[in-house]
Structure 1
Amino acid sequence: MSNYSIIQKDFYRESGKWLSKFEIWAKCINPNLHFIYIFRKTQKHMKKPVLGIFWRLVLRHYQIKYGYQIYPETEIGEGLYLGHWGSLVINPKAKIGKNCNIAQGVTIGQQNRGKYQGFPTIGDEVWIGTNAVIVGGVSVGNNILIAPNSYVNFDIPSNSVVVGNPGKIYPIKRATEGYINSKI
């Protein structure tokens, strides 16, 4: 698996199979996959003078078109899956692990004061539901399901489900089973 590109690994999450470069390009008709493709290309070329500027301009166009506010500086592991397109905000200093699902309306942002001042660090195999908000210098473990409309401004231990506003933690060993498919 290590010979596959990060784009191929992201697209594997959607289809459950390894795709050729042509098949990847053909799947870009899907706005979510199209944005991921542009995002990863921008990350790959952002330190190159001419290509970096070109891909940043292309990414900016699609940020506006699709409503995704994700910047190339954001560290997001392989196997990213965006469930639906529209209105998604991720702070460029946030860190997200591999095999994560992020639904529409999600905000992963900065907290400017208080105990958890800073930016979220999110582990592997995390499912984030529609309109969930994760803010502050919080640590979200691995194998976490954050239910739709949940508000998270606290640390979450691995193998948990978070529900509500304010969020409440329920320890569950198989929290993301059936929610995160085609893991890489």
Structure 2
Amino acid sequence: MADYSIIQKDFYRESGKWLSTFQIWKKCINPNLHFVYILRKAQKYQKTPLLNTFWRIVLRHYQIKYGFQIYPETQIGEGFYLGHFGSLVINPKTVIGKNCNIAHGVTIGQQNRGKNEGYPVIGDEVWIGTNAVIVGGITIGNNVLIVPNSYVNFDVPSNSIVIGNPAKIIPTANATMDYINRKV
């Protein structure tokens, strides 16, 4: 069971139940959960040459099939939840905290020049809505809700809602309440 601790926590976010290995496999009929399972396996075996190659090939197949562009190098905390499958791009140097939800159409990428050159660091309990774009060497705090279609290229403090293009910050103590459920 220790082998599945991170996978268990990811799947718990969807079902609210701790699942056995067999139950996890049954849930893999869902494309989002299936991809997260494959991604976590690819992350786990990065330092084992033969298994690394195998899981990278499997991951690449499902990146193309489901439209997720997330790589094993991406640091993602436990309790990761993908709301819908399709068209999702996350830069491999991005860091994502625990209990984060990401919807479809999201781009989290690098900025190649200027004051925000670099990659985003996203805190714990962040909800990122459909078609949001987060770019640059910025930091998104904890308990942040990024509204769909927002463009974020600046630091966002914890306990905030981000809305619009250009984005505006609205300080809110319970920003992700009822958006991020079944936290681990």
Asked if these proteins are the same fold (TM beyond 0.5), I'd say: yes
Alignment partner of 1:73 is 2:68: no
Report the alpha carbon displacement of residue 47 of structure 1 after superposing the two structures with TM: 1.0
Aligned partner of residue 161 in structure 1, secondary structure: strand
Question: After superposition, where does 1:19-38 map in structure 2 within 5 Å?
Answer: 19-38=19-38
Mapping for residues 31-70 of structure 1, pairs under 5 Å: 31-70=31-70
Q: In the alignment, which residue of structure 2 is the partner of 1:91?
A: 91
Which residue number in structure 2 is paired with residue 110 of structure 1? Answer: 110
Cα separation, 1, equivalents of 2:11 and 2:47: 24
For residue 41 of structure 2, give the secondary structure of its aligned residue in structure 1: helix
TM-superposition CA deviations, 1:55-103 (whole Å, max 9, x none) = 0000000000000000000000000000000000000000000000000
Distance in 2 of aligned mates of 1:149 and 1:175: 17
Q: 1:56 to 1:3 in 2, by over 3 A?
A: closer
- Counterpart for residue 177 of structure 1: 177
The aligned residue for residue 120 of structure 1 is: 120
* 4+ aligned runs moved over 4 Å, structure 1: none
- Counterpart-to-counterpart distance in 2, 1:25 and 1:6: 15
**TM-score, length basis structure 2:** 0.98
What fraction of aligned residue pairs are identical, expressed as a percent?
Answer: 77
In 1, distance between residues paired with 2:41 and 2:10? 12
Structure-2 separation of matches of 1:56 and 1:3: 19
Compute the RMSD of aligned alpha carbons. 1.0
**In the alignment, does 2:141 pair up with 1:141?**
yes
| 2:108 counterpart SS class | strand
Q: How many residue pairs align between the two structures?
A: 183
Give, as a single letter, the amino acid of the residue that structure 1 aligns with 2:60: R
Q: CA-to-partner distance for each residue in 1:20-49, whole Å, 9 max, x for gaps?
A: 110000000000000000000010011111
Q: Distance in 2 between matches of 1:97 and 1:42?
A: 18
- Quote the Cα distance in structure 1 between the aligned partners of 2:71 and 2:4: 23
SS at match of 1:127: strand
The one-letter amino acid of 1:86's match is: G
For residues 117-143 of structure 1, what are the alpha-carbon distances to aligned partners after superposition, in whole Å with 9 as ceiling and x for unaligned?
A: 000000000000000000000000000
The Cα of 1:16 is off from its aligned counterpart by 0.7
* Aligned partner letter, 1:25: W
